[in-house]
């Protein structure tokens, strides 16, 4: 969801209060109609305090209490969100997770990527170790031959110029 500054939101709210329709004001301010509608309701319920975002560290018990409050008072997602200052989509996510997994579904999920587990390499057989050693020695031998050739070429050039 796009974030809007408090100034942008207040401007849009004032335009709605002045008689503009939510659809028209949302279009003029390039906002989602549902976001503007929710913001206007929060503003009328809580004043400017309703424009500030809510706490993000809800415990499973607090989330459950929000769902219980919604159910007991037979409120919609929007009505619950306006009264408690929580976005309706957040409440909807909590509700879905609760219905699927019970109270454990409301507990915080670990964020971030899972640690990448490297598979341990099986130990090499004696034959594999010897093959690796042969390859290393062959590469070392080729390197030394090339180095000797370069040194000999340099000495030849120096003798020719000197």
> Does residue 53 or residue 29 have the better pLDDT?
29
What angle do the packed helices 6-17 and 33-46 form, to 10 degrees?
80
Pick the CATH number of 1-52 from 3.40.50, 2.70.98, 1.10.10, 3.30.70: 1.10.10
Question: Does the pLDDT at position 44 exceed 70?
Answer: yes
- Look at residue 151 in the predicted model and tell me its pLDDT: 95
Q: How far is C-alpha 52 from the geometric centre of its chain's CA atoms? A: 21
- What mean pLDDT is predicted for residues 38-47? 78
When mean pLDDT is compared across 92-101, 102-111, 115-124, the lowest value belongs to 102-111
pTM of the model: 0.52
**Domain boundaries defined on the chain:** 1-52, 54-109, 124-162
Question: Does the pLDDT at position 71 exceed 70?
Answer: yes
- Look at residue 3 in the predicted model and tell me its pLDDT: 72
């Amino acid at each position: 969801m796009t974030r809007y500054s408090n100034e942008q939101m207040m401007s849009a709210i004032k335009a709605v209060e002045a008689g503009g329709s939510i659809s028209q004001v949302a279009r003029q301010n390039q906002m989602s109609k549902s976001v503007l509608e929710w913001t206007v309701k929060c503003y009328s319920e809580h004043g400017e305090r309703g424009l500030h975002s809510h706490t993000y560290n809800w415990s499973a018990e607090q989330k459950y209490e929000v769902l219980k409050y919604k159910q007991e008072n037979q409120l919609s997602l929007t009505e619950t969100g306006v009264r408690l200052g929580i976005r309706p989509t957040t409440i909807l996510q909590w509700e879905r997770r609760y219905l699927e997994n019970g109270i454990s579904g409301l507990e915080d999920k670990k964020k971030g990527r899972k640690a990448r587990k490297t598979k341990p390499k099986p130990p090499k057989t004696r034959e594999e170790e010897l093959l690796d050693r042969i390859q290393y020695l062959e590469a070392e031998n080729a390197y030394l031959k090339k180095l000797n050739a370069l040194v000999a070429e340099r000495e030849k050039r120096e003798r020719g110029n000197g």
